[in-house]
A and B are shown apart, each in its own frame.
Chain A
Amino acid sequence: MASTVIGAGITIEGEITTDEDVLVTGTLRGKLTAKEAVTVEHGATVEADVTSASLAIAGSLTGNVVANERVDLQAGARVIGNVKAARVTIADGAQFKGNVDMDV
């Protein structure tokens, strides 16, 4: 279970730094730096640059993403921004506009 949860009705505007998992089902604007996994649920809105170990997106994300391990754009995801990670998957049904950098 994620240690930090931004619930569906909650909006955070600002900067988040954490060593834990983060689950976003609400709204986040600003910047997110996490040492563990970040999950953006369906219905969530993230307008932030995200740095994390891994990132799974089923909601909407606008911003640049850097992940140490992987980024998974799941069905229903809507992502605008650049993605940098060693592994990137884009599922059927995910919308994506931006650059992918797999560091090849």
Chain B
Amino acid sequence: MAQARTTPRAADAREARIGGSTRIRGRIHGEGDLLIEGHVEGDVAIRGSLTIAEGASVASEVIEAHAVTIAGALQGDVSASGPVRLAPGARVQGDLRGTAVSIDDGARFSGRLDCEFDLPPELGGTPRGESRARGPARR
């Protein structure tokens, strides 16, 4: 029998979690971290870090967050104010933007990388702010 009881849970206060059997159609926004293990259709805009776990699927126009880690399936663009990491098993279709983007072995990605970093001088690096590496990365 299902029993509901409210108890103070300070540790949970800043974090959100979409469980594996949960399906959300709509918009998710706010502060704090978000862990998605289920299915989300809609835009996500949070200030904290976002994790799309293995087995999760997200379809959205754009995802805005600080750090983004993806081990599940994502269809949509990512705009991160921090690093973006595609973990093994990730399947991502969309453009990625972040301060750093890493793609682990075993991740599948199709889209554009938009990542600002300083090129070394021997590659024609210019001071930060002007240098910009762009290019399609496909696998």
Contact = CB atoms under 8 A, between A and B. Distances in A.
Interface in B53-68: none
A9 B21 CA distance: 22
A15 B23 CA distance: 8
| SS of A interface (majority) | strand
B26 A10 contact: no
Interface size class of B (residues with CB under 8 A): 35 or more
A14 B22 CA distance: 13
Interface of A: 2-23, 25-27, 30, 36-42, 52-58, 69-70, 72, 74
A2 B16 CA distance: 11
B38 A53 contact: no
Interface of B: 1-6, 9, 12-34, 38, 42, 46-48
A34 B25 CA distance: 14
A4 B37 CA distance: 9
Given A3-B22, A4-B22, A15-B25, A42 B30 contact: no
A14 B25 contact: yes
A38 B2 CA distance: 9
Q: Which 9 A-B pairs have the closest CB atoms?
A: A14-B26, A9-B31, A3-B19, A56-B4, A37-B4, A7-B16, A18-B22, A53-B2, A19-B21
Contacts of B48: 9
A24 to B, nearest CB: 10
